[in-house]
Amino acid sequence: MPGKKIKQTPDILIGLVVEALSDKKALNPVILDFGELKGAVCDAFIICHGNSSVQVEAICDHIVAEVKKKIGVAPSHVEGLENAEWVLIDYFDVVIHIFQETRRRFYNLEQLWADARITVIKTTE
């Protein structure tokens, strides 16, 4: 169901997203945990980047498909697929940002939200 609010804990969704990022070889993924911050817009951001618009779009498509398949939840919306330089997937409690590397460096969300607890996701290359 599109826009369905996630009944599971955000940790379940985060785990599925991390697996999907690994499947598509997303680069330098991090989790920004806002759990300790008052007035945060969501529980967590997951941020990564790809080498091209094709990879960014593939990462996005894979996340959406895997989450839908495994827990039956569709994002409330997806933005940015037109040029795939910065794609946002909104699951209410968890928001995923998939960049091309130059855009990620420019917007530097990790620095913007530096008061969040940041977890670097280990990837195998």
In a domain, 4, yes or no: no
pTM of the model: 0.89
In a domain, 64, yes or no: yes
Range of the domain at 75: 10-120
In a domain, 125, yes or no: no
In a domain, 74, yes or no: yes
CATH number of the CATH domain containing 63: 3.30.460.10
* pLDDT tier, 125 (very low <50, low <70, confident <90, very high otherwise): low
Alpha-carbon distance of 101 to 35, in angstroms, equals 27
For tokens 């420019």, the residue is 106
Whether the predicted pLDDT of 30 surpasses 60:
yes
In a domain, 3, yes or no: no
In a domain, 1, yes or no: no
In a domain, 5, yes or no: no
- Answer for the pair 76, 92: CB distance below 8 angstroms, yes or no: yes
| Number of domains observed in the structure of the chain | 1
* pLDDT tier, 114 (very low <50, low <70, confident <90, very high otherwise): confident
67-81 pLDDT, tens digit per residue, is 999 999 999 999 999
In a domain, 19, yes or no: yes
